[in-house]
Amino acid sequence: MTSRLVGHGDPTAYLSFPSLTALGVPNATTTRHCPGVTSFAEPIVPQAPRPPFRAEASVVLGAAGLDLSRVSYARQVHGADAASVPAAGGFAGLVDVLFTAERGVPLAIFTADCLAIVLYDPSARALAVAHVGWRGTVRGATQAAVKAIARLGGTAGSLRAAIAPSIGPCCYEVDEPVTAEFARAFGERWRAWVEPSRAGRVMLDLWSANEALLVDAGVAPDGIENPRLCTACHPELLYSYRRGSRGRLVTLAALP
């Protein structure tokens, strides 16, 4: 299902998913107006990781019910590995999927065009978040997130999924090296997720691709919330790597 994200603050500091909020799940996707979130110029260093938030972010996101003193985060590497997060949160390693059954532990995914996908099973009280760009799509990050929920006793049919603002098919032009990887991973199916552009290039729809992969994994189509808000189309609100932004958005969710 599609929906309109709810904005918070003036100017809007973060957005939230109505479907998750209705289930009591604290959640937020920050905007360029959220203070205290580090930039791409300050990467997470695995040898000495530090939470990529400053005090200002703790105050703003605390209003969303997210306790950043327990936040869990990773050095995202465009893969499909998953890490279980302990009660204390903290650095989870070089992974692109985080999952937990611990209440109140915010899971954080950083993006600037890639998808951040949140999965919540209200019956099993299990939560996962995934960082999914084109590489993550072909490497199975979305399916890995669904499998992570299953490791916690959840079922795909019970999941509620939400896709954060990310680059849309209106702005995401790719060429043969990318489409070759899609062809390798998905056969001819990938052609349903592109529209022709310039010679040798296509516009890639990562939203439709990952919605389809979620459904393949057993998630009900009406359990998928996607506001289809393109990062590149909204530079006044969101960061976009393809638009030359050095900042990043953060999508967070925690078990109630």
Tell how strand 82-84 and strand 97-100 pair up: parallel
- If one compares 100 and 51, the residue with the highest pLDDT of the two is 100
Q: Residue 125 corresponds to which tokens in the numbers above?
A: 């009280």
Is the torsion defined by CA of 196, 165, 88, 157 positive or negative? negative
Q: Which two tokens stand for residue 52?
A: 């990529």
Identify the band that residue 41 occupies on the pLDDT scale cut at 50, 70 and 90.
low
Instruction: With cut-offs at 50, 70 and 90, classify the pLDDT of residue 4.
Output: confident
What is residue 66's three-state secondary structure?
coil
The DSSP call for residue 80 is -
Let me know: does 172 contact 203? Beta carbons within 8 Å: yes
Beta strands, E only, the chain: 6-8, 14-16, 27-30, 72-73, 82-84, 90-91, 97-100, 107-111, 115-121, 126-132, 160-163, 173-175, 194-196, 201-204, 224-225, 249-253
Q: Phi/psi of residue 58, each to 5°?
A: -60, -40
Instruction: DSSP letter for 160, please.
Output: E
- Please give the pLDDT value at position 101: 98
Does the model's pTM come out above 0.85?
A: yes
Q: What is the pLDDT of residue 245?
A: 87
> Of all residues in the chain, what percent carry a pLDDT higher than 70?
97
- Per-residue pLDDT of 164-179, as tens digits, reads 999 999 999 999 999 9
Which of 18-27, 48-57, 64-73, 88-97 is least confident?
A: 48-57
Tokens of 50: 């530090």
Given a cut of 90, whether residue 39 has pLDDT beyond it is no
Query: pLDDT digits over 106-163, tens only?
Result: 999 999 999 999 999 999 999 999 999 999 999 999 999 999 999 999 999 999 999 9
pLDDT at 228: 97
Cα(first)–Cα(last) distance of the chain, in Å?
23
- For 131, the 3-state DSSP assignment is strand
Answer whether residue 230 shows pLDDT above 60: yes
Strand order in the sheet with 97-100: 82-84, 97-100, 126-132, 115-121, 160-163, 224-225
Does residue 253 have a pLDDT over 60? Answer: yes
Q: What is the mean pLDDT of residues 38-53?
A: 75
Task: State CA 240 to chain mean position distance.
Answer: 14
Q: What is the mean pLDDT of residues 18-32?
A: 97
- Among the CATH numbers 3.60.140.10, 3.20.20.10, 3.40.605.10, 3.40.630.190, which is that of 6-167+207-253? 3.60.140.10
Q: Which of 32-36, 44-48, 74-78 has the lowest mean pLDDT?
A: 44-48
Question: Which tens digit of pLDDT belongs to each residue from 172-199?
Answer: 999 999 999 999 999 999 999 999 998 8
Q: Which residue has the tokens 């985080």?
A: 98
Q: Residue ranges per domain, the chain?
A: 6-167+207-253
Q: Taking a C-beta distance cutoff of 8 angstroms, is the pair 124, 153 a contact?
A: yes
Helices (H) and strands (E) in the chain, counts: 6, 16
Q: How many CA atoms lie within 13 A of 28 on its CB side?
A: 27
